[in-house]
Amino acid sequence: MSMSALLSALRGAGRQQLSASTVATRQATGSHLLRIDGYTQVSKLVGKGKRMRSETISVGGHDWRISCYPNGYSGKYEGSHISLFIEHASHRQTEEEASIKVEASILDQAGIPSYTKTIPEISACSYRYMPFSGGFGWHGFISHKDLDEEKHLKDDCLTILCDLTVVTEECTEVALPPEPTVWAPAPWPSELHGQLVEAIWNKEKPDVTIEVGGC
């Protein structure tokens, strides 16, 4: 049953104070390739807690950036791991409900993911109010010792592919169908009732007179 037919049926059943809305989800996925040329030299120049950032990525009506820390973001990962985070880069405020999920992979020279990590779906509030400025992701994305020179760093290039999926909700108010019009004849004006009867009587007065008794 269509929404219009359903609303009409409910209103016909006596629900006069009736309103309606529909909620639907839409999903958008975007991918971004971040390549660091001369990675060995870069990792020596970019100190602990220092990042390299991608260009802005627009997915699902929001803007994002990838932040890569070649020598770790903080704590026990500094100097021993690559840290990788996704930043919410939109400056505009929105009340739109959204959730996101991320998959990040290191590609080999054939463009095939050789090392992958995934973040399951996260609610909107998780990326709007991060406990640190780095965004959300992995403090220990991959350790330096696990980077394979032939597989991950051939020609001294590190290539990371990020797939970002954003799911948002849309709520739309539904316009109610017009109430059915019931036709009824308009009442005759009461002040004309007597005049009308009199006019009809006078008009239909009989033209023949019958005499009784020979008089």
Q: Give residue 94's identity as a one-letter amino acid code.
A: T
Structural domain tally of the chain? 1
For residue range 181-205, what is the model confidence (pLDDT) as tens digits?
555 565 655 555 555 556 555 555 5
Q: Considering Cα of 77, then 79, then 84, then 90, what sign does the dihedral take?
A: positive
Domain hosting residue 130, numbered range: 28-173
pLDDT tens digits, 143-179: 999 999 889 998 899 999 999 998 887 777 777 666 6
Average pLDDT over residues 109-124: 84
Distance of CA 89 to CAs 106, 108, 127, 135, Å? Answer: 23, 29, 10, 10
What are 69-113's pLDDT values in tens digits?
Answer: 999 998 899 999 999 999 888 765 555 667 888 999 999 988 999
| Residue 98 maps to a domain | yes
Q: Give CA separation, 113 vs 57, 154, 160, 200, in Å.
A: 20, 14, 9, 98
Instruction: Tell me the C-alpha distance between 151 and 22, whole Å.
Output: 50
Inside any domain, residue 215: no
Question: Which pLDDT score is estimated for 184?
Answer: 58
Average pLDDT, the chain: 79
Whether 44 maps to a domain, the answer reads: yes
Q: What is the DSSP string of 121-167?
A: EEEHHHHHS-SSTT-EEEEEEEEGGG--TTTT-GGGEEEEEEEEEEE
CATH number for the domain that contains residue 69: 2.60.210.10
pLDDT of residue 52: 92
DSSP secondary structure letter of residue 182:
P
The Cα 35–Cα 32 span in angstroms is 10
* Percentage, residues of the chain above pLDDT 90: 34
